Every structure is written in structure tokens, then in C-alpha cells.
Amino acid sequence: MAKKKPIKRTQLAKIEKPTSLSLANPQDVMSFGQTLKGFIKDNKLSVKIGDTDYSMVDGWKFAGLNFGLTAIPEKPKPISKQGEYITVLYAQKEFVKKDKTKYSKEVAIFAGFSAHIEILNEIRKREKITREFTKPYFAYECDCSIEKLSDHSKVSRGTGMCSNLELLKSGFDEYSVISMAETRSIGKAYRNLLGFVMKAAGVDPTPAEEMTEDGKFENITVETISKLPEPTPQQFSEVMKQCVKEGESAFVRAQKHFRLTEDQISSLKIALNAGVTKGS
């Protein structure tokens, strides 16, 4: 009878109960700041815009877990309507690299609602458009709560929004817009609570996903930025109506599409308040 080989037993690592740092302890915050700085750098979890570093959402998650916190995002909600379309215009632009060498590249220079024909035609007149496409308008909003792992109590909250009207998101499919809205809500919720912790790490407390990076492509700077057109009286009247009816989302759209004066912005804010009062 063959002799059985002895069974090798694997020694399992001893798992210790995790201990959370305290946000109320300045020493915990400052010492962890250096750990966080190294973690973000070693794992390339920051985006450099100009001379400033911005942490991506995974950096915020790491910081939160070390303080016994976790993010609970809700299901993203659509704030766009079916049947709305956007048109994206492309043009050849001049860029300059860090070594000062220049080159040209085709980039999206404007994204606007297809129904706003006057605005699109104005851009077409001022720019040498090389390409354009039309696609459905997607916009989503997401709320997120930060909870303590110990007792699941809510200690912070944030809201994130994304749409394909943003130039760098104009090529996004619907699922990508949904995902970015959720990601931004997580970063915002953590930022509202842990902004000073990220600052202690030498990183800007604004989440990288909130930065639009307008005029930034592959760490280069756009030399020419198209100016938005001023709204005609008829267009501004329509925007006022949209602000009363739709609220904040219409106000955000107006700022993306038009170059507004301070008086016009004040008027739109009054329209927003009128809409809130009307709806309450």
C-alpha cells in the first residue's frame, strides 16, 4: 500500500481589526496627509492642470476608508429630456507643448443644442469648421452620502452632474455620462468632509473629476479659445422662461451657451427664485 504524502497546511495571515483615524485629531490629519500624498503619487491618482495637482476619486476613497468612511451613491437621475439633440463643432486649432513646440490638432470647439440654429450658425461663421455631428442630449445628476463604517450614520453629502454638452464629454455615450455623474458625486461628498485632509497632503481639495480642463488636451495649452456669443433679446427671453420652468439646469446651460453680463446673470437668478416660489 502506497504511503500517503503529508498534507501541507498554509499559514493564514493574521487579520487585525482595523483602527480608524480621527478627523478631530490634528496629529492624525497631518501624519496621514503625508501617507495620502505618497499613495496618490505612487499610484498616479492625480491630474495636473497648470501647476496644481487634483486627486482623482480613488484618492478620495482611500482617504475616506482610513477615517472609517465609505461613499454610498444613489441611482443617477436623468435631467435631460427625450427628443433633445446637441450638435458638436470641430475645428483645427494651434497647440503648444511644454517644450514650446507648436502643432495643430482637430478638437471640439463648441457643443450646443441643435435647436439653437442662430448660435451654431454664428460659430460656423467665425470658425473654419472641419467636422460636426449631432447626437441625443444626455444629462444626469447623482446624489451621494458619506457614511461611517462603524454605525452607518451619514456625515456628508454631495451632488454630481455630467452632460455631453461639456466639450470634453461631447463624445460620451449615455452610460459614460451616467458613470461620470456618479463619480463626481462621490468626489464632491468626500470633498465636503475631507477637503482639509487632501490639503494637508499638498493636493488641491477640488476633485479632479470636477475640473472641466477647458483648453487642456494631453498636457498642452490651447492658444485660441472661441468666445461664446451674446444672446439676442429673443434668446435671453427664452432662457428666462426656461429658468422659471426648469430651474438650475437651465441656468447652467445658459452659461455654457452664452456670454452673459452681470445684469443678465442677476435677472436669471431672479427667474430661478420665481420658479422655486411658484413650485413650492
Print pLDDT tens along the chain (280 aa): 566 666 555 555 554 445 678 898 899 999 999 999 999 999 999 888 777 889 999 999 999 999 999 999 999 999 998 899 999 999 998 888 878 888 899 999 888 889 888 888 888 988 899 999 999 999 999 999 999 999 999 999 999 999 998 888 999 999 999 999 999 999 999 999 999 999 999 998 888 887 755 433 333 233 323 456 778 878 888 888 888 777 777 888 887 778 777 778 877 877 776 654 444 4
Nearest to 172 by CA among 183, 181, 163, 161: 163
Using CB atoms within 10 Å of the CB of residue 117, give its burial: 0 to 12 exposed, 13 to 18 middle, 19+ buried.
exposed
Which pLDDT score is estimated for 257? 79
DSSP letter at 204 equals B
Which pLDDT score is estimated for 90? 94
Residues 6+ apart with CB under 8 A from 237: none
Q: Where are the alpha helices (DSSP H) in 68-213?
A: 117-126, 174-200
Which pLDDT score is estimated for 12? 55
- In the block, residue with C-alpha cell 498636457: 219
Nearest-angstrom CA–CA distance, 210 and 60: 13
Nearest-angstrom CA–CA distance, 206 and 27: 23
Which pLDDT score is estimated for 14? 52
As given in the structure block, the three cell numbers for residue 251 are 441656468
Q: Under the phi-then-psi rule, with left for phi > 0, alpha for psi from -120 to 50, and beta for the rest, what region is 6?
A: beta
DSSP letter at 141 equals E
Q: What b/e readout covers 269-280, taking b as 16+ CB neighbours within 10 angstroms?
A: eebbeebeeeee
Nearest to 204 by CA among 97, 52, 80, 84: 52
Which pLDDT score is estimated for 236? 83
* This prediction's pTM: 0.69
Kindly report the number of other CB atoms within 10 A of residue 104's CB atom: 10
